Chain A
Amino acid sequence: QVTLRESSPALVKPTQTLTLTCSFSGFSLSTSAMCVSWIRQPPGKALEWLALIDWDEDTYYSTSLQTRLTISKDTSENQVVLTMTNMDPVDTGTYYCARCYYGDYGLSFDYWGQGTLVAVSS
């Protein structure tokens, strides 16, 4: 059974760095074609893909946010960590981690965590 769970502070101040942790079970990020991604959603708005790390430790970032993001994994602990620097109130929203899989038909996000709500305010 695949599960993912996000954890983070609920509130961060502008200019601070946000650290998000995704703890997962039911699969190994060492398995070929597996990956974990972060996706966020501002209140009442659409989903926005942020970053991805795959089984080979290759990393990929949103074009618009790449200078602020770093994704890493701890395979032994079954965790993926995303850091986002220089937080701003527009970064307020729910942050999801999701398992992804490079299948024969492209990449899909097939399991999601429940999300963690982050507010950015002074």
Chain B
Amino acid sequence: DIPMTQSPSSLAASIGDRVTINCRAGQDIMNYLNWYQQKPGKAPKLLIYAASRLQSGVPSRFSGSGSGTDFTLTISSLQAEDFATYYCQQSYSTLTWTFGQGTKVEIK
């Protein structure tokens, strides 16, 4: 299995802030990396696939970057509806798929 490590585990930010969340893979996964958003009591929602491609309907303030082992999710200007927990997930393996431990974005 490919371990995925996110940092930080939580952060506090204000409306309008630029927010960056990091994800590191345990081996080179090229650009096979997805990002999900989960709000309390709800199912996760796919935000970004292939490290930087925005899923249909996702606001353009969300962006992803990185390749190899290090990846970043950026929210350019945090909105009230963006307070949630974010997960990365590797899709490099064709046998098992793993998620990071999550990053909770809270209101400062």
Interface of A toward B, CB cutoff 8 Å: 37, 39, 46-49, 52, 60-63, 96, 98, 103, 105-110, 112-115
Contact = CB atoms under 8 A, between A and B. Distances in A.
A109 B53 contact: no
A63 B1 contact: yes
A46 B100 contact: yes
Interface in B89-105: 89, 91-92, 94-102
A61 B101 CA distance: 19
Interface in B1-44: 1, 31-32, 34, 36, 38, 42-44
B55 interface: yes
A106 B92 contact: yes
27 contacts: A46-B99, A47-B36, A48-B99, A49-B89, A52-B97, A60-B95, A60-B96, A62-B96, A63-B1, A63-B96, A96-B43, A96-B44, A103-B49, A105-B49, A105-B50, A105-B53, A106-B49, A106-B91, A106-B92, A107-B94, A108-B91, A109-B34, A109-B89, A112-B45, A113-B43, A114-B42, A114-B43
Given A47-B89, A108-B46, 16 more contacts: A47-B87, A47-B102, A48-B99, A49-B96, A49-B97, A49-B98, A60-B96, A63-B96, A96-B43, A103-B49, A103-B50, A105-B49, A106-B50, A109-B44, A112-B45, A114-B42
Interface residues of B, number: 28
B97 A47 contact: no
Given A49-B98, A60-B95, A108 B49 contact: yes
B43 A110 contact: no
A106 B50 CA distance: 7
A112 B39 CA distance: 13
Nearest to B52: A105
Contact of B99 (A49, A61, A107, A114): A49
Nearest to B87: A47
A7 to B, nearest CB: 15
